[in-house]
Amino acid sequence: MAILATLILAGCGAMPNIGLPTVKERNDFKGKPLSAVTQRLGFPTDQSTIDGQKVYYWRVGVAMQECRIKVVMAGDVVDTYETSGDAPICGPYEARAN
């Protein structure tokens, strides 16, 4: 077992360019289907139609410390993805502009 663990760890060390995607990359939903967002956030807590566009909302956290996420669709794909609320709660969900 120890030899197998050593081989696995040595193999991972040989691939220094592999890493986890950044928060922006994880939350870059523009042009993707709603299913990409629901896979990350679960089902929306609310939805509406504004100017003919479907809008979906999520709330993460608790009332005093919450992040509100808004996704506006352009047909079947995400047009905009926005967060607002408590910065520490929103951090993992933000899609920061460059």
Assign residue 71 the CATH number of its domain.
3.30.1450.10
Considering the domain boundaries, does residue 66 fall inside one? Answer: yes
- pLDDT class of 94 with cuts at 50, 70, 90: confident
62-71 average pLDDT score: 92
pLDDT band at 10 (very low <50, low <70, confident <90, very high): very low
Domain assignment of residue 32, yes or no? yes
Q: What is the pLDDT of residue 7?
A: 41
Residue 43 falls inside a structural domain? yes
Position 78 in a domain? yes
- Residue 80: give the domain boundaries: 22-93
Instruction: Give 97's contacts (C-beta < 8 A, 6+ positions apart).
Output: none
Is 38 inside a domain boundary? Answer: yes
Beta-bridge mates of residue 82? 70
- Asked if residues 57 and 47 have their Cβ atoms less than 8 Å apart, the reply is yes
In this prediction, residue 6 has a pLDDT band, given cuts at 50, 70 and 90, of very low
CA 79 to the chain's CA centroid: 15
Looking at the structure of the chain, the number of domains it has is 1
Q: Are 58 and 47 in contact (CB under 8 A)?
A: no
Q: What is the pTM of this model?
A: 0.72
Cα separation of 59 and 22, whole Å? 22
